[in-house]
Amino acid sequence: MKAILKETAGPGFVMKEVPKPEKLGPREVLVKIRRASICGTDVHIYKWDEWSQSRINPPLIVGHEMAGEVVAIGDAVTQVKVGDLVSAETHIPCEHCVQCKTGRMHVCKNLEILGVDRNGVFTEYAVIPETVLWRFSKEIPLDYASVMEPFGNAIHTALVTDLTGKKVLITGAGPIGLMAIQVAKASGASLVITSEVDPNRIQMAKENGADIVINPAEQDLVKSIYTITDDGVDILLEMSGNKKALEDGLKCVTMGGEASLLGIFGGSIDINLDSLVIMRGITIYGITGRKMFDTWKVADELLKSKKVDLSKVVTHVLPFEDWEKGFELMLNKQCGKVVLNLD
């Protein structure tokens, strides 16, 4: 079967023929991958940055966002059957630790990640534990089912608190930030403001329903927010992983407001917690992944009911063999989500 691999330590991937999996563990499932989408994490691994060098052990089949069809199941599998259409939660829990036993599998202390710690889904067939498979509704197109995992990031970040009637600032309009705009609107936010510096993403933020888009490279974000809102925003959704965006975003939150942080900063950052958070009574939520499987249920319902339109986020659907073009688009930020079609 064809697969995209990080074959050796260093930049880049290769596509090559590898053996199709033949053996399944008792609770493992063989999935025929029909769509796979490219994530920012895949780009980090492609570039072979510092994080990748410390985490990835080549050779490894990469990729973790997918939609596919169950073609074989292990002897003890009970949650899916052959023919089911599935997407996958990429956080693979141990199911035994305190977190797993108390409804917090997404922060399992023994967590493994699909396409990072074990072979992933940029391939024609993938072996995936039944524990992390989600049978998505038949009304959801495969292209959009393949991005339910990052869509879940947007949902978890936005809906960790009640957005009804709230003024929301989203810092960063990458694909997950764009999805969060639609989630906030669908959830009853009274005003959704987005900050973004990239011209293409500014346009996409508008297309995805942002009420106001501010370019912080051209306008003072904090002054602009207080001019618009008088008292600041109720909720900050930080999607950029940029220190300046976080610091200014916190300044924009009204006293006693809330901040939900998904962006990854890549190391230590220096901000004044006394003045920005503690003395202003700000509640901060750290977000990683998706709640299993609360977030997936919400994602399914939003897509099935068409309350969220991912055609405004999925900008490219390419043949699997054109994966290099997909990564080029991602590296140059010339796209939203890029989906690879394996049919």
pLDDT digits 0-9 by tens, 291-327? 999 999 999 999 999 999 999 999 999 999 999 999 9
pLDDT of residue 122: 98
> Is 229 known to be catalytic?
no
Please give the Cα distance from 211 to 234 (Å, whole number). 15
What the block records as the tokens of 182 is 């639609």
Kindly name the residue from 44, 64, 91, 316 that is annotated as catalytic. Answer: 44
Find the largest Cα–Cα distance for the chain.
63
> Is 41 known to be catalytic?
yes
Q: CA angle 239-339-306, nearest 5°?
A: 70
Strand, helix or coil for residue 323: helix
Kindly name the residue from 8, 41, 288, 295 that is annotated as catalytic. Answer: 41
How far apart, in Å, do the first and last CA atoms of the chain sit?
Answer: 13
Are 208 and 234 contacting, i.e. CB atoms less than 8 angstroms apart? no
Please give the Cα distance from 177 to 192 (Å, whole number). 11
What is the CATH code for 153-286?
Answer: 3.40.50.720
What is the CATH code for 2-135+313-341?
Answer: 3.90.180.10
Residue ranges matching CATH 3.40.50.720 in the chain: 153-286
List, for the chain, all residue ranges whose pLDDT scores fall below the cut of 70. none
Mean per-residue pLDDT over the chain, rounded: 97
Residue ranges matching CATH 3.90.180.10 in the chain: 2-135+313-341
b/e sequence 76-100, b meaning 16+ C-beta within 10 Å: ebeebeeebbbbbbbbbbeeebebb
pLDDT of residue 212: 98
Predicted TM-score (pTM) of this structure = 0.95
